[in-house]
Amino acid sequence: MSEPSYSARRETALACLSAGDAAAAFREFRWTLWYPRQLPAEELVDGLGVMSRIFVAMGHRELAERAAHASVDPLDPDGLDELGYQLVEAGLPAIAATVLGRCLELVPGSEQVVTELVAALSRQLAHGDARRVLDAHPGLFETSFLCRYLRAFNAAMAGDLAAVRADLPRLAPVEPAHDVMAARIAAIVARADRATCCRLDATDLRGWHHVLTGCLLLHQSPHGFDDGMHGRYAWLQDSLALIRLGLMRLRAVLAEWELTPPCVYAPPGREHDVLGEAAARVLELPLQPWPAVGVPAPGLVVAYDLATVDPRDLERLFDRRRGQILYAHASQWTEDGAIAADVTTVLYQSIVAPWQPQLAIDPVTGGARTGEPDLRTAGELGAAVAAAAEPDAADQVRDDPPGLFALARAAGAPPSGRRERGWAGGPVSSNRFL
């Protein structure tokens, strides 16, 4: 089945708009501007005009105005640049990349446009393409520390460690703001050098997760492993058994590191309270209240999902304090996180916690239905996690526990200092929902 033409998508989108369904219009028409689609100039101009109308209907006034201006004055690089920036900020990097690619044609060699296009491509997880954009502008490497850093970073995210090592000597900081970026690349190289037990190939999710973030991944999904997922989950209906598996492996990793945290802390939130109760039972540690002020250290900080921790509490964990380990059962892999957990069980795009309404098969009709939420207290659910059975062996076939513990030994316990961000994507590809 062939892809619909530009004119067909345009007609369908405008019909949806006329029917008052702006969301459907966007879902249909976005593909016309979605990177890496190449549009003739006249279609791009018209497409921005249509997208402006869609943004108006969706209530995105500033985006609508920027898109309208770019459609009326398509030779204004400043207008295209500003539109591209706003699209990235709005979470639409694939459309931003198309707009910024056109902008770069108008102002070839512009450092600002190059770096914004690279940012859009990185957000789209197109790190190889981002690196090719940078490599096409070698003159910028002589004058721009940021471009030198972005080339090394995107080489790492694309899995080219030889290029990262070659770029590292050129990353001497020019000003204090460069220190963090230079240290990030140096740390990636150092972790890769220590991780000799890892293959670091196109399917070594655990190895690359450690090299890029300094953190450990405890469980790899077997579902679709050889058909596009490679250990990550797209959609996960979580279970008490999987939570217990993660905690049992965390206990083994802490023993490998010869660490015995004095207590467990959990940030505010029912799902974190459940994990705190479960961790206290499985690891046989006292559970302490989350401190109203200060940093919860020393101790084991546990969160069900870092994406659901209040930003004010998450900020208190940016720096890894002496004696502190941060564990998250679940970490999202399609969006950058403010920080990465030192140890995490699963990488997911969409997740349903075990106590949330879950899909089940109706025994009468045989169809799918949504069940009721589990309203037990955090203490009751924590006890249920601790008593849960082992997950099926089929769910663990990609976990390679010996490889996990070999990496834990090679890496050692995380040192004090700034935690790395949780980077989306990486050299190991996975299918995802759009």
User: 255-265 burial, b for 16+ CB within 10 Å, e for fewer?
Assistant: ebbeeebeebb
pTM for the predicted model, two decimal places: 0.95
Q: pLDDT for 171-217, tens place per residue? A: 999 999 999 999 999 999 999 999 999 999 999 999 999 999 999 99
pLDDT at 336: 96
d(CA 353, CA 228): 24
Q: In the structure, what pLDDT confidence band is assigned to residue 1 with cuts at 50, 70 and 90?
A: low
Write the pLDDT tens digit of every residue in 384-409: 999 999 999 999 999 999 999 999 99
pLDDT tens track for 232-291 = 999 999 999 999 999 999 999 999 999 999 999 999 999 999 999 999 999 999 999 999
First to last CA, the chain: 20
Beta strand 368-370 pairing with 359-361: antiparallel
- Pairwise CA distance, residues 222 & 372, whole Å: 28
For residue 45, what are its two tokens? 């101009």
Q: In the chain, pLDDT over 90 holds for what percent of residues?
A: 95
What does the pLDDT read at residue 250? 98
Q: Where are the domains of the chain?
A: 6-191, 199-418
Residues contacting residue 92 through CB under 8 Å, at least 6 positions apart: 30
Span 199-418 CATH architecture: 3-Layer(aba) Sandwich (3.40)
pLDDT at 127: 97
Q: DSSP class of residue 178?
A: G
CB 327 within 8 A of CB 344: yes
Mean pLDDT of the chain: 96
Judged against a pLDDT cut of 80, whether residue 361 lies above it is answered with no
**Closest residue by Cα to residue 288 from 267, 317, 310:** 267
Domain spanning 6-191, CATH architecture: Alpha Horseshoe (1.25)
Residue 2, pLDDT > 90, answer no
Rounded-to-integer distance, Cα 65 and Cα 71, Å:
10
CB 240 within 8 A of CB 276: no
Judge if the upstream peptide bond of residue 391 is cis by omega within 30 degrees of 0: no
Q: Give the whole-angstrom CA distance, residue 284 versus residue 304.
A: 18
Give the integer Cα–Cα distance in Å for 163 and 428: 17
pLDDT at position 360 is 79
